[in-house]
Structure 1
Amino acid sequence: MTGLPFDRFTVLDLTRIRSGPTCVKQFADWGANVIKIEPPEDAAGYGNRDSSDFQNLHRNKRSLTLDLKTPEGQEVLGRLVDRADVLVENFRPGVQKRIGVDWETLHARNPRLVVGSISGFGQTGPYAERPGFDQVAQGMGGLMSITGLPGQGPVRAGIPVADLTAGLFCALGITMALLDRDRTGKGQWIQSSLLQAQIAMLDFQATRWLIDGMVPQQAGNDHPTAVPMGVYPTADGAMNIAVNGARMWQDFCRVIGRPDLVDDPAYCGPRERLANRDRLNAILHEITRTWSSQALTEALLDTGIPCGPINSIDRVFEDPQVRHLPIVVEVDHPTRGRQHLLGQPFQVDGLECEIRTATPEAGEHTEEILAELGYTTGEIKTFREKNIA
Structure 2
Amino acid sequence: MNLPLSNIKVLDVSQIMAGPFCCMLLGDMGADVIKVETPGVGDQTRKAMGFRLKGEDSGGFLALNRNKRSVEIDLKNPAGLEAFYELVRGADVLVENNRPGVAARLKIDYPALREINPRLVYASISGFGQTGPWSRRPGLDLIAQAMSGVMSVMGHPDAPPVKSSVPIADLGAGLFSAYGILSAIIGRGHTGQGQYVDASLFETALGLSVWESAEYWGTGTVPVPIGSANRMSAPYQAVRAADRHFVIGAANPKLWAALCEVIERTDLLQDPRFTDNAARIRNRDVLIREIEGEFARKPADEWVDALLAAGVPAGPIYTYDEALVSEQAVAREMVLEIDHPVEGRVKALGFPVKLSGTPQQVRYPAPLLGQHTQEVLGEFGLDDMAIEALRERGAFGQPVAPQTLKNGTA
Give the match for residue 147 of structure 2.
140
Counterpart of 2:33 in structure 1 is 34
User: Residue 305 of structure 1: SS of its match in structure 2?
Assistant: coil
The amino acid that maps onto 2:97 is N
What does residue range 274-313 of structure 1 map to in structure 2 within 5 Å? 274-313=281-320
1 CA distance for matches of 2:368 and 2:42? 14
- What amino acid is aligned across from residue 42 of structure 1 in structure 2? V
Equivalent of 1:79 in 81, 86, 92: 86
Q: Does 1:89 align with 2:96?
A: yes
Of 240, 247, 252, the residue aligned with 2:254 is 247
Partner of 1:129, secondary structure, is coil
Q: Counterparts of 1:75 and 1:111 in 2: how far apart (Å)?
A: 18
Code of the residue aligned with 1:221 in structure 2: it is S
Unaligned runs of 5+ in 2: 48-55, 397-410
Given that 2:83 and 2:395 are in contact with CA atoms closer than 8 Å, whether structure 1 keeps it comes out as: no
Tell me, yes or no, if the aligned pair for 1:329 and 1:355 is still in contact at 8 Å: no
For 1:64, the equivalent position in structure 2 comes to 71
The equivalent of 2:44 in structure 1 is 45
SS of equivalent residue, structure 1 residue 266: helix
Counterpart of 1:368?
Answer: 375
What SS is found at the alignment partner of 2:208? Answer: helix
Task: Provide the C-alpha distance between the structure 2 equivalents of 1:111 and 1:375, rounded to a whole number of angstroms.
Answer: 21
Amino acid at match of 2:95: V
- Could you tell me which residue of structure 1 aligns to residue 22 of structure 2? 23
Q: Distance in 1 between matches of 2:286 and 2:386?
A: 77
SS in 2 for 1:22: helix
Deviation (angstroms), 1:44: 7.5
Cα offsets for 1:218-237 (capped at 9, x unmatched)? 00122233221111111221
Mean CA deviation greater in 193-202 or 236-245? 236-245
Judge conservation of contact 1:39–1:66 (CA < 8 Å) in 2. yes
Q: 2:116 matched to 1:117?
A: no
The match for 1:381 is 388
Whole-angstrom CA distance in 2 between matches of 1:375 and 1:184:
30
- Match for 1:154 among 158, 161, 181? 161
SS state at 1:262 partner: helix
- Greater alpha carbon shift after TM alignment, 308-317 vs 105-114: 105-114
- C-alpha separation between the residues in 1 aligned to 2:166 and 2:33? 26
TM-score, scaled to structure 1: 0.96
Deviation at 1:384, TM superposition (A): 3.7
Q: 1:223 aligns with which of 230, 234, 251?
A: 230
Q: Which amino acid in 1 is paired with 2:341?
A: P
SS at match of 2:219: coil
| Corresponding position: 1:199 with 2:199 | no
Match of 1:190 in 2: 197
Contact 1:238 1:309 in 2 (8 A): yes
The answer to whether the 8 A contact 1:330-1:355 is kept is: no
> Which stretches of structure 1, 4 residues or longer, exceed 6 Å deviation after superposition?
none
Structure 2 length as normaliser, TM-score? 0.91
Asked if the contact 2:79/2:394 (under 8 Å) is kept, the reply is no
1:173 aligned residue: 180
Q: Distance in 2 between matches of 1:226 and 1:246?
A: 10
1:337 to 324, 340, 344: 344
Alignment partner, residue 9 of structure 1: 8
Secondary structure of the residue aligned to 1:87 is strand
**C-alpha displacement of 1:45:** 3.3
Match of 2:272 among 265, 274, 277: 265
Aligned partners of 2:116 and 2:337: how far apart in 1?
A: 39
1:98 aligns with 2:97: no
- Letter of the structure 1 residue corresponding to residue 134 of structure 2: Y
Gap runs ≥5 in structure 1 = none
1:43: how far off? Answer: 5.6
User: Equivalent residue of 1:354, what SS?
Assistant: coil
Counterpart CA distance in 1 for 2:74 and 2:218 is 50
1:338-384 per-position Cα deviation (integer Å, ceiling 9, x unaligned): 11111221111222111111111111011112223343434433444
Structure 1 residue 38: deviation in Å? 0.4
Identity %: 39
Aligned amino acid, residue 87 of structure 1: L
For these two proteins, the number of residue pairs brought into alignment is 388
Shift of 1:335: 1.5
> In the alignment, is the contact (CA less than 8 A) between 2:338 and 2:346 conserved in 1?
yes
RMSD: 1.5
Contact 1:227 1:270 in 2 (8 A): yes
Tell me if 1:108 matches 2:107: no
Q: Secondary structure at the match of 1:13?
A: strand
| Residue type of the alignment partner of 2:339 | D
Provide the C-alpha distance between the structure 2 equivalents of 1:37 and 1:299, rounded to a whole number of angstroms. 54
